[in-house]
Amino acid sequence: MLKHKGKGINRFAAAANAAKTGRSVYADNGVNYNLQAEYPYRVNFYLRPPPSEITIEEFETFALDRLQGKDYAGIWETKHLLTPSLTVLRAIETATVRNRDIKTEIAKTIEEYLPLKSNMSKSDTLYEERRKDHISHFVLRMAYCRSDDLRDWFVKQETALFKYRFEQESLEEKKNFLKHLNLNWKILSNEEKEEIREELEICSRPRQTTNAQAVQDYVNSETFFEVDFFKVPLMVASRSVYVRRGKAYVPMSDQINLVMVEFKNHLIRALEATSKLLPRMEEDDRLKPILLNVEKQYIGRNYDDIGNATGSITAKEVDSFIHHHAPLCMRNLHDSLRADKHIKYGGRLQYGLFLKGIGLSVEEAMVFWRQAFANITDDKFQKEYAYNIRYNYGLEGKRANFKPFSCSKIITSNPPSTGENHGCPFRHFSSGNLEARLRRDNINGAHVDEILDLVRNKHYQLACTKHFEVTHPQNKEKIDNIEHPNTYYELSKRLAEKEKASEGEALADESMEIDD
C-alpha cells in the first residue's frame, strides 16, 4: 500500500487477509484503474480495503485533508491554531455542538478538501476523488481505533458525513447502491401489510395529519421494511414505527435511518477488528509515526515535547501573564493561591504543570511557589513541597517528563472535593458560582447566558471556547474548539503580540508621515 518510488505494498489488503490467515499478505494491484469495478457509487460502506498503491505522502495528506484540512498537514504546530480553514470531520463536530447548519458546513469543507462528484457529472476526476476518499477513511480508521473515546468520535463524525452524502444522491442512485450492498431487508407483502394495517396507520398519522383518507392512501402506496427493533432505537422511542414481536416496521420514507444504522454498526465492528491488527501494522516503521501524528489531531497538541521548560517566563511575570492570558481554570487556581497562600495537591499538580508548559523553568518554579506559600517556613517548604516541584520537572523519582493536563483529563479525572480548587470551572462549578465568576470578569449578560446554556448541555470545552471569544473580541479569526489550557494561553498571548506589533507599525507609519 505504501511506496516511495519502487514497488508498493497494499497494507490495508495485507491487514484484511492477515485477519483471516494469521500471516502477513502483500498484494500489488498495479494502477489499472477501473471505476465501475472499484467505485461504482459516490457513497461507500468501506467494506473492502483500498485496492491500489499509494505513496507515504498521500497516506498522510489524504487522511489530514479528511480530518481537518491541508493547513494541519505535518506535525502539529501552534502557529496553525488560528487557521481560518474549517475541517471535514472536525467541521461536522463543530457545527453539531454550535447548532450550525451541518449540511452547509460539510458542503463548504468537502468542496475544498474531499470533493465527490456524482456519476451524472461524467467527470474525469471521479476515480481519483473516490480513491482519495477510500484511502483517507482507512487511514483514519487505523489511527482512531486505539481507544473507546477515539472510536466513538470517529464513528459519530463519519456517520454524519455518510448521511450527508447519501442524501445528496438521486433516488435511482440510492436504490442501486442499496441493491449493491445486499442488506437483506425484508419488504412487507401486501398481505402482511393488510394484517397490521390499523397499527401502521396509527403510526403514520403524525406524517399525514389526521385526515383518515390521506393516512390510508399513504399506507397503500408506501413500502415497509421489517427489521429488528433495536436497529432503529430513536424511531421506537418516538413511537414513529409499529413494533411487534421484536420487529419494527419502517416506511421507505425513513430508509435513511436503516442505512445509517447499518453503516454505523459496520464501522464499529471494523474499528474493533482493526484495533486487534494494529500492532502488526505498526511493525512498518513508516506507518507508526504517521498514525500517531494523525491521531494527535483529535486532541490537538499534547505538550509532551516541553522537556524541562525553556525559561521563557520568570516568577515575577506569572501574575501578569495569568491575569491576561490564562483560561478560567488556571486563573481560578491562581486566585485561590494568592488569596489563601496555599492550594492542595490536586491544584498544585494541575497548575504547576500548566506553568511548566508556558515556560516556567524549575528554578523559577521554586521561587514562585516559595513566595506563594508565604505563611510557611523555608524548612517546611523544602521538606513538604520542593521535592514534588522537582519531581514534576523530571528531576526526582522516576524522572519522567510530565506534561500539562488536557481539558479532557481535567474534566474527566479526579473531580475536586470540598476545599479543593482544581478541575474545570465549566464542569465542576455550580451554576450559581460559575455565573458569579463570569459576571465578576465583566462578561455581559447575553454572553453569560450563552455560556451557561452550553454548560447545561455538557459542552464544557465549547463553553471555554466561547469564553475565549467573548474575552478576546479583537480576534477576528475562527478557532477550533479549545482542548488544552496551554492552547488557550498560547492563543491569547499570540493575539496580544499581534496587536502590539500592529500598534508599533501604526506608530512607525505615523512617525514617517511627520518626518515627511
Region 25-50: mean pLDDT is 69
Write down the pLDDT at residue 387: 96
Identify residue 179 by its one-letter amino acid code.
K
Mean pLDDT of 93-114: 76
| CA-to-CA separations, 358 to 120, 310, 317, 473, 493, in angstroms, rounded | 54, 9, 11, 23, 10
Q: What is the pLDDT of residue 106?
A: 80
Higher pLDDT, 106 or 309: 106
pLDDT band at 150 (very low <50, low <70, confident <90, very high): confident
| Confidence (pLDDT) at 342 | 96
Which of 24-28, 86-90, 240-244 has the weakest average pLDDT? 24-28
Per-residue pLDDT tens for 371-386? 999 999 999 999 999 9
329 appears as a binding residue in the annotation? yes
> Residues 212-244: pLDDT tens digits?
788 888 887 788 888 888 888 888 888 888 899
pLDDT at 171 over 90: no
Kindly report which listed range (82-91, 163-172, 191-200) carries the lowest average pLDDT score: 82-91
The 10s digit of each residue's pLDDT in 326-357 is 999 999 999 999 999 999 999 999 999 999 99
pLDDT at position 475: 84
What pLDDT, on the 0 to 100 scale, is given for residue 427? 95
| Residue 73's pLDDT band (cuts 50, 70, 90) | very low
pLDDT confidence tier of residue 267, bands split at 50, 70 and 90: very high
Indicate whether 289 pLDDT > 70: yes
Q: What is the pLDDT of residues 428-466, one digit of tens each?
A: 999 999 999 999 999 999 999 999 999 998 889 889 999
Q: Are strands 242-244 and 247-251 parallel, antiparallel or unpaired?
A: antiparallel
Q: Tell whether the model's pLDDT for residue 208 goes beyond 70.
A: no
| pLDDT at site 79 | 31
Long-range contacts of 373-376 (CB under 8 A, 24+ apart): 373/341, 373/342, 374/341, 375/341, 375/342, 376/342
Q: What is the pLDDT of residue 17?
A: 46
- 56-67 and 287-296 helices, crossing angle to 10°: 10
Q: CA 176, 179, 183, 187: dihedral to nearest 10 degrees?
A: 100
| For residue 87, pLDDT beyond 60 | no
Alpha helices per DSSP H over 231-344 = 233-237, 255-281, 287-296, 318-325, 328-340
User: Does the pLDDT at position 251 exceed 90?
Assistant: no
Q: Which one has a higher pLDDT value, 43 or 143?
A: 43
User: Residue 51: pLDDT above 60?
Assistant: yes
Mean pLDDT over 168-192 rounds to: 86
203 is in an annotated binding site: no
Per-residue exposure over 344-377, b if at least 16 CB sit within 10 Å of its own CB, e if not: eebbbbbbbbbbbbbbbbbebbbebbbebbeeee
Q: What is the pLDDT of residue 472?
A: 94
**Mean pLDDT of the residues in the chain:** 81
Q: What is the pLDDT of residues 480-510, one digit of tens each?
A: 788 899 999 999 999 999 888 877 665 655 6
Domains of the chain: 2-179+262-296 (1.20.930), 182-255 (no CATH), 315-494 (no CATH)
Residue 145 annotated in ligand binding: no
424 is in an annotated binding site: yes
Terminal CA-CA length for the chain? 65
Query: What is the pLDDT at residue 99?
Result: 62
List helix spans (H) across 223-254: 233-237
pLDDT at 18 over 60: no
Query: Which comes out higher in pLDDT, residue 150 or 304?
Result: 150
